[in-house]
Amino acid sequence: MELGAFSISLTVKDIKASKEFYEKLGFTVYAGDLEKFYLIMKNGNALIGLFQGMFDKNILTFNPGWDESANKLEQFADVREIQKKWQEAGVTVVNPVAEDTSGPGSFSVIDPDGNPILIDQHV
């Protein structure tokens, strides 16, 4: 089952310093707003989100319905389908998306080491 575009959302102490660091690694600003303390940076198909003061832990993020350039995919597994499959496999879902909805939605799971994984569908 395809999960869509993958990115890592990093909680950073100083967004300007982090931006400069990742630019040295070849990343460029793709989206976001430095004044609002978040940036999405891209290098090829690799995406890194930089977030200052928004959450406590780094988050692995998948975006069903999008490719790494935020282009809508013609075919993709809906967030509710992914959630149901994972629940059937015994994965505990945090903040589940309502099954009787359609379109955008999200839910999270926590891996065995406490790392949050966000499934965030925008389409």
Q: What secondary structure, in 3-state letters, does 35-95 show?
A: HHCEEEEEECCEEEEEEECCCCCCEEEEECCECCCCCECCCCCCHHHHHHHHHHCCCCCEC
**15-42: pLDDT as tens digits:** 999 999 999 999 999 999 999 999 999 9
Positive or negative CA dihedral for 109, 25, 16, 42? negative
Residue for token pair 């993958």: 6
Assign residue 101 the CATH number of its domain: 3.10.180.10
Q: What is the pTM of this model?
A: 0.90
Domain count along the chain: 1
| High-pLDDT (> 70) share of the chain, % | 100
What is the domain range of residue 45? 5-121
